[in-house]
Amino acid sequence: MKSVVYTKAGQVGLAEIDRPQIVAADDAIIKIVRTCVCGSDLWSYRNPEMEEGHSLWLEEEPTVEDVIKEFQKYDLDDFHEVVFCGFGEPLERVEDVIQIAGILKHFRRDLPIRVNTNGLACLIHQRDVTPEFKGRIDTVSISLNAPDAKEYAALTRSRFGIESFQAMLDFAKSCLEYVPFVVMSVVDIIGEEKIKKCQAICDDLGVTLRVRPFEE
């Protein structure tokens, strides 16, 4: 989906991020953060007319206990998939994500759990977090966004700068050892030539490329 990003005083630009969706009645989305290292993930317009419960914006971040308490209202067997996502980076709170996923897996081992991420968790926490995904996370979906480091840095405005792109690729490769499904995504508006370059990157890493349709 299109997200508004701050570029400089009095000026904003646009970037593309995954739009988490409730596809089936038994899907669940977990929103636990409203912060991120990338400007494109934060500067999103809030729609005051959006139906309650459908907005991904958080007034405050829930605790692990808050999330588990909410899930206790439902039968986990009714869920098709649980997704960690939002207008922020879920893995800013990687320990909480892992704890929540572990608790959910304890009560339903076959519950599919996905994390939508910018892939910069190892930079954020200054350690390799991917081993913690084993047995807890089934799918990691990473926003590739661009085919090279320079364009990626300009688009995402990561606080880690130009090194973010390679760190994101390294994260994807590391995830393959611990997560059954690793996906990287781009939006179709970047054009065929860049999509082909992104496909080559994914082929080299051994991950799946997902091309998302551009949404106004």
Q: What is the tens place of the pLDDT at every residue in 43-56?
A: 444 444 544 554 55
- Residues written for the chain: 216
According to DSSP, residue 63 is labeled P
Give the list of residues 6+ apart from residue 69 with CB closer than 8 angstroms, or none. Answer: none
Please tell me whether residue 25 adopts helix, strand or coil conformation: coil
SS3 47: coil
Is pLDDT above 60 for 14?
no
**Distance between CA atoms of 166 and 161, rounded to whole angstroms?**
11
Reported as a single tens digit per residue, the pLDDT across 191-209 is 999 999 999 999 999 999 9
201, two tokens: 């990157």
pLDDT at 58: 62
Q: Is the pLDDT of residue 144 over 80?
A: yes
Q: What CATH homologous superfamily does 2-212 map to?
A: Aldolase class I (3.20.20.70)
Other CB atoms within 10 A of residue 203 CB: 11
Q: How many CB atoms lie under 10 A from the CB of residue 23?
A: 10
The per-residue pLDDT for range 110-127, each reduced to its tens digit, is 999 999 999 999 999 999
Per-residue pLDDT tens digits for 147-171: 999 999 999 999 999 999 999 999 9
